[in-house]
Amino acid sequence: MDTRQIDQIAQRLAMTLPPGLKSLRHELTDNFRAILQSQLERLDLVSRDQFEAQAALLSRTSERLKALETRLESLESQQRGRG
């Protein structure tokens, strides 16, 4: 989650404060932002771009593995035919 989204959430939380706490809004917004960032970091999330890059890599690796398995089966059958 980017910092702009975290800022928006923190501001929305601060806007829900009762009227008596409006004077603390700026300080509480900063605290909300810090708490949100630390909790999201603890979740060890990856960005959509990172996820898609890894999914593409996995797909290519899977295709290559299938090709190698097919080649190995072919070589094994040729070897059996000679033996």
In the prediction, which pLDDT does 83 show? 67
Phi, psi values for residue 54, rounded to 5°:
-70, -35
Give helix 3-15 / helix 25-42 axis angle, nearest 10°: 130
- pTM value? 0.51
Whether 75 shows a pLDDT value over 90: the answer reads: yes
Residue 9 C-alpha from the chain's centroid: 19
In the prediction, which pLDDT does 53 show? 96
Averaged pLDDT, 1-14: 83
pLDDT tens digits for range 14-25: 888 887 777 888
State the distance between the two ends of the chain, measured CA to CA, in whole angstroms. 60
Domain ranges of the chain: 1-45, 46-83
